[in-house]
Amino acid sequence: MKSKTAKEMNVKPVFNESGFEINPVYTADDITNSSTHNEMPGQYPFTRGIHPTMYRNKPFTIRQYAGFASPEETNERFHFLIRNGQTGLNVAFDLPTQCGFDSDDPRAFGEIGRVGMSIDTLDDFEIAFKNIDLDKITVSLTINGTAIILIAMYIAMAEKRGFDISNLRGTAQNDILKEFIGRGTWIFPVDKSVKLVVDTIEYCAKYVPKYSPVSVCGYHIRESGANPVQEMAYAFCIAKAYTDGALQRGISIDDFASRLSFNFDIYGNLFEQIAKFRGGRRLWAKIIREDYKAQKDSSCWLRMIAGGGGGGLTKEQPENNIVRSAYYALISALSGTQTMALCSYDEAYTIPTEHSAEISLRTMQIMINEMGICDTVDPLGGSYYIEALTDKFENAIREEMKTVDNWDGIINAVSTGKIQESVSKQAYEREMGMQKGNIPKVGVNIYTRNEESREVEFHPYNQLAADMQIDKLKIIKEKRNNAKVNECIENIKSEALNNKNLMPSIIQAVKEYCTVGEIVNAMKEVYGEFKEPIFF
Amino acid sequence: MRVLLSKPGLDGHDVGVKVLAHGLKEAGIEVHYTGLRKSIEEIVNMAVKINADIIGLSILSGTHLVLAKKMKEELQKRNLNFHWVVGGNIPAKDIDELKKIGANEAFATGTKVSEVVLYFISIEKNKN
């Protein structure tokens, strides 16, 4: 039996967001060549999942985003989340910390602790993680521009606690290339920024082998306007750039590839997302084995956090977002994710309350405990439609990666703004499609009702906490050994000039309570700053 | 008409400001964009340099009141009289507050691009 096209069945053609025409019906003929026929989960190329038993042994990790004004409040929140059964912590930082300004810098004014916790020195880190067992909880640091400093702090804190860092686990986002495309917390020029990421990979491969120093983010690229194929393709190009850098340092692919992880976005067409992940997982495995000659299976694993994307949620009829997020969670689980995070339903206009954060947590827990989602691996494997679409995604992502090659690679494509230009144009087209009603969105352009407009809310800015943060910094600057601090800063500059791996010098500096700003400024002196190409 | 769109402060959310830039461009309006993380002083310098008719500040991190006050001070200090508007994740109660500070208008997220374009065009018409 052949599958039938829309034309043959005399129905209107349908295209998904990635531009593939979708047949009204699929049959076994559509997947005769599919490689998954003979593939078991846990077997290369891992289309069906990276582990043989997946959630039968252990469900995906639930990791919600958290981070409040001060390290003290953040610590309280962490303990609250842990009491509620969360096994991973995802830490948010304020913008000065992300951009490399200390709390006492004029550019930090009004921003201290606003969108996450404020970190000036190792002291703040020690307060935030007080009584958090680094052995039992996996901590993910959502930090990029200053990631090398924050990872250094995490390692320094563990060392000071007497923790054997060869057993230290955790994740840092530390994907600077996507910051140039979306999110925007870049600091240094593109090539130097990549160098710093590679420094962390090299250091961790040698001394902190269980730590995942990079989580490559398709997520923000998609949120900036990329379609699902581009999301995967650009993320893979970025991951390859870091991989190439690490290989140039003489580390073997099998010594670090298994520690690379990915962060992807979920919104839109359910089947398209699932096929995106299955096809992407297969392609990534092939890239690592065929192009990079990895021996170990674990090097070929596409490990991911895949969560509900903010881009799919709406400010209109916000309770609908609870339903959307439940679908996104289902997509994520059906796609074989390792870790899941959901946006809260009110996140489109406010910072989630404890109540809305709890609904997200319960959404995932209901799925795990009531829906049988963990009972069998890759439950959609063998579906004519899903397998056909999976094959299509593998090929389309590969083709899209060639487009980046034609732009002379991802570093060049980002430095010149090529990707930013194409992604922002798509964001405009998408927005116009929504505003004109061509892209249906419930509550926004269809099934709308007159509703009270939802009040946008922010955590009230805590000026007192901000002032206390500045005071604390002042005291630390007085108390610390400033001769040693200067020595450490000079050392970072000279190591940067000599093109050395900066991790050891930064770990030494944070232990002497050098500030994030001081370290960033030392690096700026040597590396300069990124000049943003202006495209829209 | 010449519009300068800008990203003051440390906020990196630039999807919205770029969408608006596209929309204005398509409506035949000359658009300039500062790029991310500019100080108010840098933004005003650029507005003077290109002789902008309107300055748009895009802010999604919640810092709009702080930055609007800085904008007001900077314009007063230099005795400049620009038409300026704020866009972003702005609570309804802050829209009046922004106008009190001195912004000519404020647009919360969810505002249609066409609405902002029409507003800009009406400003130009009233000027002439």
d(CA A481, CA A225): 48
d(CA A63, CA A342): 8
Q: Which residue has the higher pLDDT, A310 or A126?
A: A126
pLDDT-derived band of residue A66, with 50, 70 and 90 as boundaries? low
CA B123 to chain centre: 13
Q: Could you tell me the CA-to-CA distances from B26 to A289, B85, B121 in Å, in that order?
A: 46, 20, 13
Rg (CA), chain A: 23
Question: Is the CB of A114 less than 8 angstroms away from the CB of B62?
Answer: yes
Nearest residue in B to A222, CA atom = B15
For the entire predicted model, the pTM comes to 0.95
Model pLDDT, residue A92: 87
Question: Is the CB of B18 less than 8 angstroms away from the CB of A428?
Answer: yes
pLDDT per position as a tens digit, A100-126: 999 999 999 999 998 889 999 999 999
Question: Is the CB of B61 less than 8 angstroms away from the CB of A114?
Answer: yes
Model pLDDT, residue A208: 97
Q: Does the beta carbon of A109 lie under 8 angstroms from any beta carbon of chain B?
A: yes
Q: Does the beta carbon of A447 lie under 8 angstroms from any beta carbon of chain B?
A: no
Looking only at the bridges linking them, the beta strands covering A304-308 and A260-266 are parallel
Rounded average pLDDT over A157-176: 95
Cβ atoms within 10 Å, residue A248? 10
Q: What is the ipTM of this complex?
A: 0.91
Coil, helix or strand at residue B39: coil
Give ∠ CA A473-A474-A479 in degrees, rounded to 5: 95
Question: Is the CB of B110 less than 8 angstroms away from the CB of A425?
Answer: no
What's the full length of chain A, in residues? 536
A302 is written with which tokens?
A: 């596409």
- To the nearest whole Å, the CA of A379 is away from the closest chain B CA by 36
Question: Is the CB of B19 less than 8 angstroms away from the CB of A424?
Answer: yes
Per-chain mean pLDDT for chain A: 93
Coil, helix or strand at residue B84: strand
Rounded average pLDDT over A321-328: 97
Q: Which residue has the higher pLDDT, A143 or A32?
A: A143
Rounded average pLDDT over A373-388: 97
Residues of A in contact with B110 (CB under 8 A): 315-316
Model pLDDT, residue A253: 98
Residue whose tokens read 């900066």: A502
d(CA A105, CA A147): 19
Ramachandran assignment for A511, one of left (phi > 0), alpha (psi -120 to 50 degrees), beta (any other): alpha
- The enclosing domain of B36 has a CATH number of 3.40.50.280
Cβ neighbourhood burial of A440 (10 Å; 0-12, 13-18, 19+): exposed
Model pLDDT, residue A110: 92
What's the full length of chain B, in residues? 128
Judge whether A458 and A113 are in contact, CB under 8 Å. no
pLDDT per position as a tens digit, A192-233: 999 999 999 999 999 999 999 999 999 999 999 999 999 999
Residue whose tokens read 């320094």: A156
Cβ neighbourhood burial of A360 (10 Å; 0-12, 13-18, 19+): buried
Coil, helix or strand at residue A373: coil
Model pLDDT, residue B128: 63
Judge whether B54 and B123 are in contact, CB under 8 Å. yes
Domain of residue B38 covers 2-94+101-127
Give ∠ CA A34-A37-A40 in degrees, rounded to 5: 120
Set out the domains of chain A in order of their start, with CATH numbers.
Answer: 33-436 (3.20.20.240)
Question: Is the CB of B9 less than 8 angstroms away from the CB of A110?
Answer: yes
Share of chain A above pLDDT 90, in %: 81
Rg (CA), chain B: 13
Question: Considering only A80-94, A139-153, A506-520, B69-83, which range has the smallest mean pLDDT?
Answer: A80-94
Number of domains in chain B: 1
> For residue A179, which of A292, A275, A100 has the smallest C-alpha distance?
A100
pLDDT per position as a tens digit, A409-460: 999 999 999 999 999 999 999 999 999 999 999 999 999 998 877 777 777 7
Cβ atoms within 10 Å, residue A122? 26
Q: Which of B6, B11, B13, B18 to probe the A interface (max A CBs under 10 A)?
A: B18
Question: Is the CB of A536 less than 8 angstroms away from the CB of B15?
Answer: no
pLDDT beyond 60 at A67: no
Looking only at the bridges linking them, the beta strands covering A211-212 and A170-172 are parallel
Model pLDDT, residue A516: 98
Contacts (Cβ under 8 Å, ≥6 apart) of A324: A267, A308, A312, A313
Contacts (Cβ under 8 Å, ≥6 apart) of A409: A237, A241
Question: Considering only A34-38, A64-68, A280-284, B110-114, which range has the smallest mean pLDDT?
Answer: A64-68
A173 is written with which tokens?
A: 């986002």
**Residues A495, A500, A504, A507: is their CA dihedral positive or negative?**
positive
Model pLDDT, residue A294: 98
- Strand (E) or helix (H) holding A392: helix A384-406
pLDDT per position as a tens digit, A129-138: 999 988 877 7
Cβ neighbourhood burial of A337 (10 Å; 0-12, 13-18, 19+): buried
Model pLDDT, residue A31: 92
Rounded average pLDDT over A85-93: 79
d(CA A40, CA A376): 12
Question: Considering only A57-66, A206-215, A394-403, A424-433, which range has the smallest mean pLDDT?
Answer: A57-66
Cβ-count burial A518-531 (b if 16+ within 10 Å, e if not) = bbbbbbeebbeebe
Q: Could you tell me the CA-to-CA distances from B97 to B39, B67, B71, B81, B100 in Å, in that order?
A: 21, 12, 14, 19, 5
Residue whose tokens read 């439940």: A326
Q: Name the residue facing B14 among A109, A184, A457 (closest C-beta).
A: A184
Nearest residue in B to A429, CA atom = B19
Per-chain mean pLDDT for chain B: 95
d(CA A152, CA A320): 41
